[in-house]
Structure 1
Amino acid sequence: MKFKNIVAATLMLGLSTAALAQSIGKPEDQIRWRQSAYHTMAWNMGRIKANIEGTYNKDQVVQAANMIQAIANSGMGVLFQPGTDKGKGWKETRVKAELFSDKEGVGKVAKPYMEAANEMARVAASGDLAAIKTQFGKLGETCKGCHDKFRKED
């Protein structure tokens, strides 16, 4: 009886691992998906910036902030599997190899970024332009923190 349970558990673990690997995709898929997410975040950062420096439209800022928040909380870290520090998605990846070995350092930049993204969405919903400008600056600093530590320059 115990042997059957062990076999069943082993089979389920194998299927789960295979399903996870398939859902994560090949290394080039992982690189392409995360590049797409970062480009989408950059576009939305640009939307916020255009609104706080030009004609302010609360709805556009809220939409952009919500998109950034969604991506920040999407669990995208799973797309940084071993072997994806090199290779091409839409273009060559710029992630530094240190990202894969410095888990503590990643946590030190990822957590503040997620907190800043969540706060950006909250502040954007308030419509308080001064607070939005302040939080946008804080969010940008958290982006820069990760870029400085874990992204290669062009």
Structure 2
Amino acid sequence: MAAPIKHILTAIATVCTIISLSTAHAADEPENIIKFRQNVMKGNGAHITNIAAVVKGQVTTTANLAADAQAIADGLENFGKLFPTGTEGGKTNALAKVWDDRAGFDKALADAQDAAENMIGAAASNDIATIGKALGALGKSCGGCHKPYRKKM
């Protein structure tokens, strides 16, 4: 009786392994990675828009500035890992230069990460002039990636 149970458990384990491997493979499909990195950028864009609204005086509350600044930094922290080989095709605005000039791309991304970290400090100050200056630097660093490494939109 123990032998049939052992075979059943082995079969169940095999099926579970096959399912988990096929799911992991689907999760790493290039189109899924591309969509994921696009969503990170959309999120960062929303947080930058929130900060800009405060700087422009469109919104007077500074309650979410720290959270917005932190979210931008978090989004950029591992962003470079979202450009593995194999994701240069498909529905992406990333130019082949991301992969052809990886050192330049990584440097531009590091500059953006530094600017995002500076934005955290500026947001904590609650000083609109300081926040505005940091936002300008962040925007410039965003362009440092977008201009050379993204299709013109």
Does the alignment reach a TM-score above 0.5?
yes
| 1:145 alignment counterpart | 144
Task: Measure how far apart 1:113 and its partner are.
Answer: 0.5
| 1:98 alignment counterpart | 97
Larger Rg, first or second structure (1 or 2): 2
Q: Is the 8 A contact 2:80 2:106 kept in 1?
A: no
| Matching residue's letter, 1:37 | V
Instruction: Give the 4+ runs in structure 1 shifted more than 2 A.
Output: 21-24
Q: Is the 8 A contact 1:96 1:152 kept in 2?
A: yes
Normalised to the residue count of structure 2, the TM-score between the two structures is 0.79
Q: Is the 8 A contact 1:24 1:78 kept in 2?
A: no
| Matching residue's letter, 1:108 | K
1:52 matches 2:51: no
Q: Is the 8 A contact 2:80 2:109 kept in 1?
A: no
1:28 matches 2:27: no
| Matching residue's letter, 1:136 | L
| 1:4 alignment counterpart | none
CA–CA distance in structure 2, aligned partners of residues 36 and 24 of structure 1: 15
CA–CA distance in structure 2, aligned partners of residues 107 and 84 of structure 1: 16
Q: Is the 8 A contact 1:24 1:79 kept in 2?
A: no
Gaps of 5+ in 2: 1-20
1:85 matches 2:84: no
> For 1:12-23, what aligned pairs fall within 5 Å after superposition?
22=25
Q: Which shows bigger deviation, 64-73 or 54-63? A: 54-63
| Matching residue's letter, 2:106 | G
| 1:70 alignment counterpart | 74
CA–CA distance in structure 1, aligned partners of residues 138 and 60 of structure 2: 18
Task: Measure how far apart 1:121 and its partner are.
Answer: 0.9
3-state SS of 2:64 partner:
helix
Give the CA RMSD over aligned residues: 1.7
Normalised to the residue count of structure 1, the TM-score between the two structures is 0.78
CA–CA distance in structure 2, aligned partners of residues 116 and 37 of structure 1: 17
CA–CA distance in structure 1, aligned partners of residues 92 and 128 of structure 2: 35
User: Matched residue pairs, number?
Assistant: 130
| 2:45 alignment counterpart | 42
